[in-house]
Structure 1
């Protein structure tokens, strides 16, 4: 007997995940497919959107083959900040430009020249890989290509046009991450368009994340192996989908550590005065969340392990904070927040003749924890001091205890497997006329902070080094 379910598609930077979520919230099937990110020039990051479509179709075919499923709706989420220029039929006019792309650095001067109150209304730090600066760069350097474009879409929006052709729209969570959206007025920023020369008609209509934007017609249904007539919702940005899928509580920090790290605080009220020390994005629910994205987490530790000819066991095995550990700034690929740092600014400091390889490993672990603390301290004040932590980087008991000691807060390690793709699927429940399932119990292991010992002094030394 077939089981009634919804399909969730999570379009990441280097791979797509498909999940089938039953009406009780359980995951019936999952599949991942990867694709390449090209760098045709230094600091560029692009992907042919056709790779996304091929990978998504393959992943969907896989989950449909795993279970006897009655799919009743489709939800999507995707990597943030990407730039997909399309013609009137939704076909790309060039490869998609992705968030790691750095070509648009010079374009940021146009944003910096805005009136201070309008710059603050964007509620985000300036980064070259965000949609606005990339679109400004393309307008200046590829005018013929831009002239052929009818709309600019975010990655998940383009993938959705392969299901519902002609639905050239985006949602508030992705719009707020473009540096083109005025969060104070909740509209595309007229001031940014005037300052950058970006065509206003390129910007798509913005709709709620759970709004049905169309139904699967017979042709597309046959191509995807799905039932005709099922609704497809707008979808949301990947970070917003993770908050939906993990049932994150407003006012409680979530720290996820993987190749990068994210410090996320759901349920905030945006403010538009003072310096910008964190991202502020619209949530899929219509509220807002704050986020600091740490670019150098697992990716920096991986490089340290490689440089020192060690293993992950070496990284954790001999950690001893009582030794004279040197300092480490892990900004190998630069950092964005709470203040910007240039690429190639990672470094060890305070080395002496007594320094050993184990001390360099220890410094790398502490440096990452200090960077995460720096992000936590840039967030709005919290009533709930406990922090949920997730991701592969938090599975090491050594790292989890060190992070708790550095932050001085209790950590709850929780399992967020498939949370992003599940969040995308849950957005489709309303479109299908279904009640949202009760969230599963948040099971996790508590890690209480212990004596920080020399960590406070080392954190102060770290901040001095970063601020030089």
Structure 2
């Protein structure tokens, strides 16, 4: 069997797959996020490793087949600092971290932000490695001086499991890559004032990357035999696109998770238009994913349900009780304290609820949030260049009613990606590709279901989208004041 490991922001998961792509066992363990200050979001690397060992051992207890290979994926961005022995210098700053908000504002005002996008195809937001590194350089330089590696989550795990210091092209895509060579561009480090820290960047594997043998420490942690091949796959956004079967140019996927990640496969690096989103290397040397990882995913619904003192199980009923259009209630679901990063960047973006009357119900508010996330997805997919089929996955997509709302708002059929653990599935596929293990790609990525949009709602939601864009434009004039 093939083992896929997904090192998420709040949960570390492992899934065992048969050669046919069937899920044999899954296991997850929560990992804590620390907030030493309101703007900080940190994770303990040792706690992440403990969770990884626990989920792998739990999966092995549920199965009898030998593990042919392990594929790694996990959260992107953030800054994970290791010393020469691969031990943490300090707790990792995750992609949710906002301590670099003032620095991103300075870079925006000085032109650094836009120049970076024009050269790299990625926007710099507070949780990006460049921004966090610059914040530590200003406020905590001793951490950078003690470090031997400034890496990404799954790269840290690779080093702890195999002893190899490396990263893959998808994680390295932002912020320091020259996409024409898929190697670091020293002048981009200079642009951010970080040239003294080039030594901290791990070597980039050539796609699809090689598998490394599991070392003694990794074997003791996981219970896997020493020498088991471990592949450092794409991080979670590209890995999920792989697991969802996005292979044709113009096809895309929506991941309705903490981040609303909208991705479209392309054969070029786009650096024109308004800066927004990410350009991520795919496994193939001439393919990229134009990704719009908006900050308006399931966290927007979580906040709404919490304020209404309701449970996730009630979403289906709420959406059934309020009609399309939410009786005139509209939501801008920009509730993240870090603002928004796709398809536009506004660190001070904040949410809005409008159109309420004395007759507004809880169901109307929940539907308005569900529709607002749908409008945000439509905005992102248009910016990413969607032209083909669209798949959907993620925790929010588990709701059949919310899937239907998204399909209706987008006026696009949605293929429900094969579950569970779509990201871990992509990681397992990456490991097989690296090791040249034959597998049936179509079987591994077949859709479980397809949602058809209500065509009678096309006019309603086209008008709703126009109103959404107008509200966004109006709000952007106020956010910066």
Q: For residues 47 and 100 of structure 1, what CA distance do their matches in structure 2 show?
A: 11
Alignment correspondent of 1:201: 199
Residue 260 of structure 1 contacts residue 294 of structure 1 at CA under 8 Å; is this kept in 2? yes
Pairwise CA distance, 1:164 = 0.9
Pairwise CA distance, 1:148 = 1.2
Structure 2: which 5+ residue stretches go unaligned? 475-481
Pairwise CA distance, 1:42 = 1.1
Matches within 5 A, 1:217-366: 217-218=215-216, 220-250=218-248, 251-286=250-285, 287-310=287-310, 311-321=314-324, 324-333=327-336, 334-342=339-347, 345-366=350-371
TM-score for the superposition, normalised by structure 2: 0.88
Residue 274 of structure 2 contacts residue 344 of structure 2 at CA under 8 Å; is this kept in 1? no
**Deviations 1:190-231, CA, capped at 9 Å, x for gaps:** 222213332111111100354335322445434432222232
More displaced 10-residue stretch of structure 1: 147-156 or 419-428 = 419-428
Alignment correspondent of 2:465: 459
Query: Does 2:97 correspond to 1:94?
Result: no
**Deviations 1:38-68, CA, capped at 9 Å, x for gaps:** 0111110111100111011111111111122
Aligned CA-pair RMSD:
2.4
Pairwise CA distance, 1:309 = 4.3
Q: How many residues align?
A: 460
Matches within 5 A, 1:64-83: 64-83=60-79
**Deviations 1:89-114, CA, capped at 9 Å, x for gaps:** 21111111100000012222347534
Q: For residues 309 and 69 of structure 2, what CA distance do their matches in structure 1 show?
A: 49
Per the alignment, do residues 29 and 138 of structure 1 end up closer, same or farther by CA in structure 2, a change over 3 Å counting? same
Which of these residues, 135, 143, 159, is aligned with residue 133 of structure 2?
A: 135
Q: For residues 113 and 374 of structure 2, what CA distance do their matches in structure 1 show?
A: 36
Residue 81 of structure 2 contacts residue 149 of structure 2 at CA under 8 Å; is this kept in 1? yes
Pairwise CA distance, 1:20 = 2.3
Query: Does 2:176 correspond to 1:180?
Result: yes
Pairwise CA distance, 1:373 = 1.4
Which of these residues, 17, 24, 34, is aligned with residue 13 of structure 2?
A: 17
Query: Does 2:187 correspond to 1:191?
Result: yes
Residue 52 of structure 2 contacts residue 222 of structure 2 at CA under 8 Å; is this kept in 1? no
Q: For residues 42 and 200 of structure 1, what CA distance do their matches in structure 2 show?
A: 30
Pairwise CA distance, 1:290 = 1.1
Residue 3 of structure 2 contacts residue 69 of structure 2 at CA under 8 Å; is this kept in 1? yes
Q: For residues 25 and 357 of structure 1, what CA distance do their matches in structure 2 show?
A: 41
Alignment correspondent of 1:419: 422
TM-score for the superposition, normalised by structure 1: 0.90
> Which has more helix, going by share of residues?
2
Pairwise CA distance, 1:430 = 4.3
Pairwise CA distance, 1:284 = 3.0
Q: For residues 207 and 290 of structure 2, what CA distance do their matches in structure 1 show?
A: 18
Which of these residues, 377, 381, 389, is aligned with residue 392 of structure 2?
A: 389
Pairwise CA distance, 1:9 = 1.5
Residue 2 of structure 2 contacts residue 67 of structure 2 at CA under 8 Å; is this kept in 1? yes
SS in structure 2 at match of 1:71: coil
SS in structure 2 at match of 1:377: helix
